């Protein structure tokens, strides 16, 4: 997989997705950038074209909206996507019964629905061509229940389970799937989710988006089904296997509560 590829990155307007787009461009790969913020993506596209001479298409879409997703897929009907990066995602903070149900449903639509649909739309072509990569950005949130971020944690558990399952199915096809799990990372995520003052982001180490992207990028090319960024995150995920699930839920509730 060292020659030129066409790479679709969702959530490429900022944060981890933007850093991933930079890594692909620096290695000479062409890009399709997807998010809602067209201006931010146009600025990134201009920068990457100039710095690396790659082709960059900007495809604004609201991934929470099935009609917008269908239009995106239709616009890409003649484009072979060799690498799909499902990175777009967001969270929310609070007791589930107090949160806005519509916002929680749109979180499911982006974190789970769009990731599953785009994988389903582009994976068959990769298998047919005998080469490809799927990189799904999950989270260490996916390893335990997450009181006060119940839907977000559940969506990331789905991403890990789904990705590990298709990674198994893809053995021998020339295509791999990787679930990458960042821990707390400096991006717009915490502010948007309302978690920037929570212990998860104030009490421990918070990674840079560039470091997380680099780790995910290497894991994806290596074809790893699952990769966790950082030793302490890895330890945390590992330890949840041994204690009662009620204990990890209690610890997580402390990290997630205001």
Ligand X SMILES: NC(=O)c1ccc[n+]([C@@H]2O[C@H](COP(=O)([O-])OP(=O)(O)OC[C@H]3O[C@@H](n4cnc5c(N)ncnc54)[C@H](OP(=O)(O)O)[C@@H]3O)[C@@H](O)[C@H]2O)c1
Whichever of 14 and 52 has its CB closer to ligand X, that residue is 14
Instruction: In angstroms, give the least distance from the CB of 221 to ligand X.
Output: 19
Piece of the chain touching ligand X by CB under 6 A; list 22-30, 123-131, 163-171, 185-193: 185-193
Phi, psi angle pair for 43, to nearest 5°: -65, -45
Residue with tokens 């790479």: 7
| Cα dihedral across residues 71, 20, 15, 200: positive or negative | positive
Name the segment binding ligand X (CB under 6 A); options: 1-9, 24-32, 186-194, 233-241.
186-194
- Within 155-184, the residues that bind ligand X by CB under 6 A are 182, 184
* Catalytic-residue membership of 153: no
Instruction: Work out whether 214 is an interface residue with ligand X (CB under 6 A).
Output: no
- The stretch among 50-58, 60-68, 97-105, 119-127 that binds ligand X (CB under 6 A) is 60-68
Rounded to whole angstroms, the Cα distance separating 111 from 72 reads: 17
Separation CA 239–CA 66 (nearest Å): 38
CA pair distance 252, 250, nearest whole angstrom: 5
Among 92, 176, 185, 252, binds ligand X (CB under 6 A): 185
Helix (H), strand (E) counts: the chain: 11, 9
16 binds ligand X (CB under 6 A): yes
SS3 133: strand
Residue of 189, 227, 228, 237 that binds ligand X (CB under 6 A): 189
User: What is the distance between the alpha carbons of residues 138 and 119, in angstroms, rounded to a whole number?
Assistant: 14
From candidates 6, 13, 93, 256, binder to ligand X by CB under 6 A: 13
14 binds ligand X (CB under 6 A): yes
Regarding 15 and contact with ligand X (CB under 6 A), the answer is yes
CA distances (Å), 188 to each of 18, 89, 196, in order? 12, 11, 9
CA angle (182 as vertex; 13, 94 as ends), nearest 5: 85
Which residues are at the interface with ligand X (CB under 6 A)? Answer: 11, 13-17, 35-37, 62-64, 87-90, 110, 137, 139, 182, 184-185, 187-190, 192, 209
Catalytic residue numbers? 152
């Amino acid at each position: 997989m060292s020659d030129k590829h066409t790479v679709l990155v969702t959530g490429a307007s900022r944060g981890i997705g933007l850093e991933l787009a930079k890594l692909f461009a620096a290695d000479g790969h062409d890009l399709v950038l997807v998010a809602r913020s067209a201006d931010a993506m146009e600025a990134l596209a201009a920068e990457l074209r100039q710095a690396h001479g790659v082709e960059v298409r900007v495809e604004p879409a609201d991934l929470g909206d099935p009609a917008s997703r269908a239009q995106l897929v239709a616009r890409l009907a003649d484009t072979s996507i060799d690498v799909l990066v499902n990175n777009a995602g967001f969270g929310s903070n609070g007791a589930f019964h107090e949160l806005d149900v519509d916002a929680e449903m749109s979180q499911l639509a982006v974190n789970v629905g769009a990731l599953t649909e785009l994988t389903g739309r582009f994976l068959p072509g990769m298998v047919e061509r005998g080469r490809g990569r799927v990189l799904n950005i999950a989270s260490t949130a996916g390893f335990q229940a997450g009181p006060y971020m119940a839907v977000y944690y559940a969506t990331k558990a789905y991403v890990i389970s789904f990705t590990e399952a298709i990674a198994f199915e893809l053995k021998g096809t020339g295509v791999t799937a990787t679930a990458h799990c960042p821990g707390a990372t400096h991006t717009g995520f915490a502010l948007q989710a309302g978690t920037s003052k929570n212990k998860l982001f104030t009490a421990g180490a918070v990674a840079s988006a560039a470091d997380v992207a680099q780790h995910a990028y290497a894991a994806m090319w290596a074809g790893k089904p699952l990769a966790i960024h950082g030793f302490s995150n890895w330890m945390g995920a590992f330890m949840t296997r041994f204690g009662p699930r009620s204990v990890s839920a209690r610890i997580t509730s402390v990290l997630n509560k205001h």
